[in-house]
A and B are shown apart, each in its own frame.
Chain A
Amino acid sequence: AQTVTQSQPEMSVQEAETVTLSCTYDTSENNYYLFWYKQPPSRQMILVIRQEAYKQQNATENRFSVNFQKAAKSFSLKISDSQLGDTAMYFCAFMARINFGNEKLTFGTGTRLTIIP
């Protein structure tokens, strides 16, 4: 079974600064995907960024980028130029491409990020 660990329950950073959220995972699979989801106070789950394990290049989406270290099973999220709207719970998630039609997300426990004005 796969496990996802987020060791930072809470973080806070000043607006416009850069912050990095940590995530490690454990799997015996070689082909898988990693995701970061954001859950703002509205509780909606919003996809932030995703990474395919077979791609060595780190994914980037505007101010959001990841540092994917496959050997270390590490998948951190970097938020640059943080904005007040980035205040949310951030979940790291893992999906193994095991069988077609049998793919689910396994989530970490989340990191509550607060952006301070």
Chain B
Amino acid sequence: DSGVTQTPKHLITATGQRVTLRCSPRSGDLSVYWYQQSLDQGLQFLIQYYNGEERAKGNILERFSAQQFPDLHSELNLSSLELGDSALYFCASSVLGRASGANVLTFGAGSRLTVL
């Protein structure tokens, strides 16, 4: 158990629908990252939050949005779903704020989304 909790683990839905993926970061971690991994592909960075504020944005579609709440959990909202949105969505968290050293990301187990 990495300490990063993602729900749901699996989700099957239809095209045009909207889903919400949830992430609880490791205790003490202030930053949350979302990544998308399509079938047998690398991980694509979507968005990063730090202590409730958006800090970096990747190639996130306009149909997707995210936020980080005061309790530091984060949600990724995917709307008007298309077949190509089927993927494994990872959340990762990190402490940041360290005076030195690498910013190590700890990943959750992922949420597998299937769009039919």
Q: Tell me if B96 and A43 are in contact (CB < 8 A).
A: no
Decide if the interface of chain A is mainly helix, strand, loop or mixed: loop
Give the residues from 37 to 51 in chain B that come closer than 8 angstroms, CB to CB, to chain A.
Answer: 41-45, 48, 50
With beta carbons under 8 angstroms apart, the residue of B33, B42, B88, B104 that contacts A91 is B42
The interface bits of chain B over 20-36 (1 if a CB of A lies within 8 angstroms of the residue's CB, else 0) are: 00000000000101000
Of B11-19, B60-68, B74-82, B105-113, the one with at least 4 CB within 8 A of chain A: B105-113
Q: Tell me if A43 and B109 are in contact (CB < 8 A).
A: yes
Q: Tell me if A103 and B96 are in contact (CB < 8 A).
A: yes
How many residues in B have their beta carbons less than 8 Å from beta carbons of A? Answer: 28
CA distance A110 to B48 in the complex (A): 22
Residues of B with C-beta under 8 A to A105: 33, 43, 45, 92, 105
Q: Tell me if B45 and A104 are in contact (CB < 8 A).
A: yes
Q: Tell me if A95 and B102 are in contact (CB < 8 A).
A: yes
Q: Tell me if A44 and B55 are in contact (CB < 8 A).
A: no
Whether A52 is near chain B, meaning CB under 8 Å from some CB there, is: yes
Residues of A with C-beta under 8 A to B44: 107
How many residues in A have their beta carbons less than 8 Å from beta carbons of B? Answer: 25
CA distance A106 to B107 in the complex (A): 14
Chain A to chain B contacts (Cβ below 8 Å), 24 pairs: A37-B107, A42-B109, A43-B112, A45-B43, A45-B92, A47-B105, A47-B106, A50-B104, A52-B102, A97-B103, A101-B50, A101-B96, A102-B55, A102-B56, A103-B94, A103-B96, A104-B45, A104-B48, A105-B105, A106-B45, A107-B42, A107-B43, A109-B41, A110-B42
Known: A105-B43, A105-B45. 14 other contacts (CB 8 A): A33-B103, A35-B102, A46-B107, A47-B106, A50-B102, A95-B103, A100-B96, A101-B31, A101-B55, A103-B96, A103-B103, A104-B56, A107-B42, A109-B41
Binding site for B on A (CB under 8 A): 33, 35, 37, 42-47, 50, 52, 91, 95, 97, 100-110
* In the A-B complex, the 7 residue pairs with the closest CB atoms: A45-B107, A33-B102, A103-B103, A107-B42, A109-B42, A101-B50, A107-B43
